[in-house]
Amino acid sequence: MGFLDVSKDGPLAMVKVNRPDALNALNSEVLGEIRETMEALDADSAARVVIITGEGKAFVAGADVAEMVDMSGGEAEKLSLHGQRAFLQIERMGTVVIAAINGFALGGGLELALACDLRYASEKAKLGQPEVTLGVTPGFAGTQRLPKIVGLPRAKEMLLTGDMIDAKRAEEIGLVNEVFGAEELMEKVTEIALKIASRGPLSVKLVKKAINEGLVLGSQEGGAIEAKYFGECFASGETGEGMRAFLEKREPSWKE
């Protein structure tokens, strides 16, 4: 594909946004590629964890302003929905997706990271939702996901001021899970991804699904979803293998 480099190594898949001349900015084509790539990886049982990052000094520096500047209101709404569908694919896919934020993650770039399950940042990363400085709102669900991750007061502060924050501050407010040195970011993220990939494949998928579905349910309804998936793990045989391996003091042998 044109702007994404995709590689696979055992249970891991690496997706790199490769448009460094534009700081990996998201245009319509890139958004379409992200959606198609994630759909394909979700259907690939060998890919248990996906890592997404950016080429050069940016993760993704935002949506492509050059593409948007002369858009009509209708065209802009269409672009917004296009981006939301791409990122919803990341959120809904059974495969775990980790954002390795190697540099600027602004606007649409931060919204891409917000759709991922885990976020780890380089100490050099800068993050923010600067849309109001351009006289526009976030378009790829930043107003919806950011409050759920960092809480309403912090999210409103970022969204209403448009200010950037550094990686340390992002970690303090829970926007990223952890900050690593620039040279060790990919090594550390790969270690985490391999750890997740070593766990029960079905149980990992159902944990992600239960969390996402439970966010919009009450405690009782969410608990019922959890009980259902708990039972599915036993019915699949994965739980039996995991528990027997534990009792026999050996590593489990998961089904592909």
End-to-end C-alpha distance for the chain, whole angstroms = 27
Residue-wise pLDDT tens digits, 209-228? 999 999 888 899 999 999 99
Report pLDDT for 223.
94
Catalytic (active site) residue 221: no
From 33, 131, 171, 238, the catalytic residue: 131
Which residues make Cβ contacts (< 8 Å) with residue 4, sequence separation at least 6? 15, 16, 17, 18, 30, 33, 34, 37
Q: In DSSP terms, which residues pair with 119 in a beta bridge?
A: 99
Q: Span 235-253, mean pLDDT?
A: 93
Angle (CA) 89-211-235 rounded to 5° is 95
pTM: 0.94
Q: What is the pLDDT of residue 154?
A: 97
The whole-number pLDDT of residue 217 equals: 86
Quick: pLDDT tens for 80-138: 999 999 999 999 999 999 999 999 999 999 999 999 999 999 999 999 999 999 999 99
Q: Which CATH architecture has domain 4-197?
A: Alpha-Beta Complex (3.90)
Flag whether pLDDT at 2 surpasses 80: yes
Domain 201-247 top-level CATH class: mainly alpha
- Assess whether pLDDT exceeds 60 at residue 183: yes
Q: Which of 111, 123, 241, 251 is catalytic?
A: 111
**pLDDT for residue 1:** 53
CB distance 106 to 46 below 8 Å: no
Instruction: Supply 62's token pair.
Output: 């935002």
Output the CA torsion sign for 22, 24, 26, 29. positive
| pLDDT reading at 255 higher than 90 | no
Summarize pLDDT for 32-69 with one digit per residue, the tens: 999 999 999 999 999 999 999 999 999 999 888 989 89
Q: Which residue in this structure is represented by tokens 């991922």?
A: 116
Report the chain's mean pLDDT, rounded to a whole number.
95
pLDDT of 148 strictly over 90: yes
Let me know if 36 is a catalytic residue: no
Q: Which residue is associated with the tokens 């019922």?
A: 224
Residues 6+ apart with CB under 8 A from 135: none
Extents of the domains making up the chain: 4-197, 201-247
At residue 245 the predicted structure's pLDDT band, cuts being 50, 70 and 90, is very high
Segment 147-172 mean pLDDT: 97
pLDDT at 216: 85
